[in-house]
């Protein structure tokens, strides 16, 4: 459109020039003059229009140039902004990578330090482990030595004739303790061990060692006597302190018996005063007859060993004391044949472990199943177990320590 306006203006200008030249040559008629005037006017208008168009074109060009400059400026600003952004991004990326690298290096350093610390810890643990193992080994050695020191450097001594010429009785580990009242539990304890020792060796002697026993159940005592008689291995009885009633009978009727000079042995008749409650005369008579049968079975062999009759045995009891409790020390008991041998020393070869090394046992029932208690008055006592039918207690009990419920 701009080019068509410029072309029209140029043509109008050329036509006007040629027309003016021609009219100058000859007089122009009025009509023609009017036309020429009109043409001149048109040319002027065209020229004016052309100038306007030129001006507008110049303004447009200027605006286009300004817009172009603005566009270039904006492009430069955008490029600058992008460059700044790119630089900022690159800087951020660089900083991020640097930080990441620093963190990685720090992490690697920490990892190495941790590994180093762990290695040092392992070394310390190994050193402590070696020290601990060494200490544990030393402790184990000390404990083993301590345990070893608890045992004597000796072995039980087995002698077919345990009494030496110097008056020393040598007791092996084939020994059975019998202390306190003789009960069925006592009989179970002793007879089982007599059987065991026989099965182990039927020649070496077995020792029933009485520290102190007041006697007890005649049935239980009779079981012990029969087990002693039936044993292939000889069963010897040793009284260290006191044996009365049933315990004294076991001592006297043993194949061989031994006692200290000051050991006390007591024989008396069977007594029923501690066991009857409410018995009529017939029952008392029956019980007396049964007791007499037991007395004959126990006192008869004792009197026979003494070389006297049962009646003489009873007479001597009451001739000695009004209560009939015939008590003698070991030396006198030997003369009466209540005990066979008096010994000055007893060598317990079975005691191979230090008794002080053992923990004190908690209070519990005795081997015979009994346990000491106190009565309603606060006096110590031991309640005897209920007897089986036809049994009776052959027991020395002057102070009433042993009782029945």
How, if at all, do strands 215-217 and 393-395 pair?
Answer: antiparallel
- Say how far apart CA 40 and CA 33 lie, in whole Å: 10
In a domain, 239, yes or no: yes
pLDDT at 359: 66
14 shares its domain with 125:
no
219 shares its domain with 340:
yes
Q: CA dist 210 to 134, 136, 286, Å? A: 49, 45, 33
- Say how far apart CA 91 and CA 387 lie, in whole Å: 109
In a domain, 163, yes or no: no
The answer to whether 370 and 354 have CB atoms below 8 angstroms apart is no
Answer yes or no: pTM beyond 0.85.
Answer: no
145 shares its domain with 172:
no
Token reading at 84: 């700044």
| Total domains present in the chain | 3
142 shares its domain with 224:
no
CATH of the domain at 294: 3.90.226.10
Order of strands across the sheet with 372-374?
Answer: 372-374, 380-383, 402-403
Q: Which residues of 171-189 are buried (b: 16+ CB within 10 A; e: fewer)?
A: bbebbbbbbbbbbbbbbeb
In a domain, 115, yes or no: no
125 shares its domain with 237:
no
- Say how far apart CA 261 and CA 342 lie, in whole Å: 6
3 shares its domain with 131:
no
216 shares its domain with 277:
yes
In a domain, 78, yes or no: no
The answer to whether 355 and 349 have CB atoms below 8 angstroms apart is no
124 shares its domain with 184:
no
pLDDT at 277: 52
Residue 31's domain comprises: 1-62
Which of 32, 47, 62 is a domain's end point? 62
249 shares its domain with 294:
yes
pLDDT at 358: 67
- The per-residue pLDDT string of the chain (405 residues; one tens digit each, 9 = 90 and over) reads 444 444 444 444 444 555 445 444 556 677 877 888 888 888 888 888 888 888 888 888 888 888 888 888 888 888 888 888 888 888 888 888 888 888 888 888 888 988 998 999 999 989 989 999 899 998 998 888 888 777 777 899 999 999 999 999 999 999 999 999 999 999 999 999 999 999 999 999 999 999 999 999 999 999 999 999 999 999 999 999 999 999 999 999 999 999 999 999 999 998 755 444 566 778 777 777 887 888 888 899 999 999 999 999 999 999 999 999 999 999 999 999 999 999 999 999 988 777 777 665 554 556 667 888 998 888 999 988 887 666 778 788 888 888 877
In a domain, 101, yes or no: no
pLDDT at 149: 74
- Say how far apart CA 309 and CA 312 lie, in whole Å: 5
In a domain, 68, yes or no: no
246 shares its domain with 279:
yes
Residues forming the active site: 245, 268
| Placement of tokens 């350093």 in the chain | 109
In a domain, 158, yes or no: no
Size (the chain), residues: 405
Token reading at 369: 């199943």
Containing 327, the helix (H) or strand (E) segment is strand 326-329
144 shares its domain with 173:
no
314 shares its domain with 387:
yes
Token reading at 227: 């087990």
The answer to whether 339 and 238 have CB atoms below 8 angstroms apart is no
Containing 365, the helix (H) or strand (E) segment is none
In a domain, 92, yes or no: no
Residues 63/64/69/71 CA torsion (nearest 10 deg): 110
């Amino acid at each position: 459109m701009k080019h068509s306006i410029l072309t029209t203006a140029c043509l109008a200008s050329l036509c006007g020039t040629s027309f003016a030249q021609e009219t100058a040559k000859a007089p122009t008629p009025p009509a023609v003059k009017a036309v020429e005037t009109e043409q001149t006017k048109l040319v002027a208008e065209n020229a004016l229009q052309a100038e306007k168009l030129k001006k507008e074109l110049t303004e447009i060009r200027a605006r286009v140039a300004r817009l172009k400059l603005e566009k270039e400026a904006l492009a430069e600003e955008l490029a600058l902004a992008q460059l700044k952004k790119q630089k900022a991004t690159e800087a951020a990326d660089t900083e991020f990578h640097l930080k990441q690298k620093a963190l990685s290096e720090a992490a690697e350093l920490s990892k190495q330090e941790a590994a180093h610390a762990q290695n040092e810890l392992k070394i310390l643990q190994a050193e402590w482990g070696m020290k601990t193992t060494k200490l544990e080994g030393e402790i184990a050695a000390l404990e083993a030595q301590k345990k070893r020191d608890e045992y004597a450097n000796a072995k039980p001594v087995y002698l077919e004739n345990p009494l030496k010429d110097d008056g020393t009785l040598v007791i092996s580990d084939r020994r059975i303790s019998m202390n306190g009242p003789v009960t069925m539990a006592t009989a179970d304890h002793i007879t089982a061990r007599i059987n065991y020792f026989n099965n182990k060796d039927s020649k070496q002697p077995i020792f029933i060692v009485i520290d102190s026993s007041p006697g007890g159940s005649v049935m239980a005592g009779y079981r012990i006597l029969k087990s002693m008689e039936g044993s292939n291995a000889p069963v010897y009885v040793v009284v260290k302190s006191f044996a009365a009633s049933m315990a004294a009978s076991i001592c006297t009727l043993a194949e061989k018996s031994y006692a200290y000079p000051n050991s006390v042995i007591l024989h008396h008749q069977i007594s029923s005063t501690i066991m009857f409650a409410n018995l009529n005369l017939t029952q008392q008579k029956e019980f007396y007859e049964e007791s007499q049968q037991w007395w004959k079975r126990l006192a008869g062999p004792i009197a026979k060993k003494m070389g006297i009759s049962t009646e003489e045995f009873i007479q001597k009891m009451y001739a000695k004391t009004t209560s009939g409790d015939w008590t003698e020390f070991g030396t006198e008991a030997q003369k009466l044949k209540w005990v066979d041998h008096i010994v000055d020393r007893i060598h317990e070869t079975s005691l191979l472990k230090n008794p002080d090394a053992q923990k004190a046992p908690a209070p519990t029932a005795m081997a015979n199943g009994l346990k000491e208690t106190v009565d309603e008055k606060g006096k110590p006592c031991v309640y005897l177990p209920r007897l089986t039918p036809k049994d009776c207690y052959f027991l020395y009990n002057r102070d009433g320590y042993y009782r029945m419920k």
